[in-house]
Amino acid sequence: MKIKILCKDKLVETIGLLNSGYESETPQVLIPVELAKMIGLWPGLENAEETEFETAGGPLKVWIIPRACRITVLTEDAHSPEIEGDIVISPIADEVLISDKMISELSIVLEDVGRGLWRFRWESPEKLRRSYPPKYWK
């Protein structure tokens, strides 16, 4: 889906992949290093916590910057609430991933994941929205 990421005074619109398997305790958005550079979060990691995520492919070293950004989902006729969240920087990711907690906070309901259909929580079940093609950061 199309999202707006606001970090400090930097704003970027990109496509984020909703990943209900990306379980987090706080609302998080995982971003590639290239995007972190664009919004001024890389290499300056003084507020970041280095940690490891366990993934299906094995351990992944990441940097978490708590409450570093505000995220909004953008559509042609509506937008989500603006949610403060953690930025997670991954050295191997090439897409933006949105965690389960961030999905919930953005009021997103996944209706048909395989077909890329979703809606905002306040919309009727008949109001289905289509996902955008992926955006790769390389």
Query: What is the domain extent for residue 18?
Result: 2-130
Domain contains 137: no
- Looking at the structure of the chain, the number of domains it has is 1
pLDDT of the residue at 115: 95
d(CA 90, CA 34): 10
**Residue 118 forms part of a structural domain:** yes
Judge whether 23 lies within some domain.
yes
Q: Which CATH number covers residue 74?
A: 2.40.70.10
Task: Answer for the pair 28, 20: CB distance below 8 angstroms, yes or no.
Answer: no
pLDDT, tens digit, 9 for 90 and up, residues 80-123: 999 999 999 999 999 999 999 999 999 999 999 999 999 999 99
Nearest alpha-carbon partner for 86 in 116, 66, 109: 66
**Beta-carbon-side half-sphere exposure of residue 32 (alpha carbons within 13 Å):** 15
pLDDT score, position 8? 85
135 is a domain residue: no
- Check residue 96 and report its DSSP letter: E
pLDDT value for 41: 87
Position 111 scores a pLDDT of: 96
40-75 residue pLDDT tens: 888 877 788 888 988 888 888 999 999 999 999 999
Q: In this structure, is residue 82 part of a structural domain?
A: yes
Per the domain annotation, does 136 fall within a domain?
no
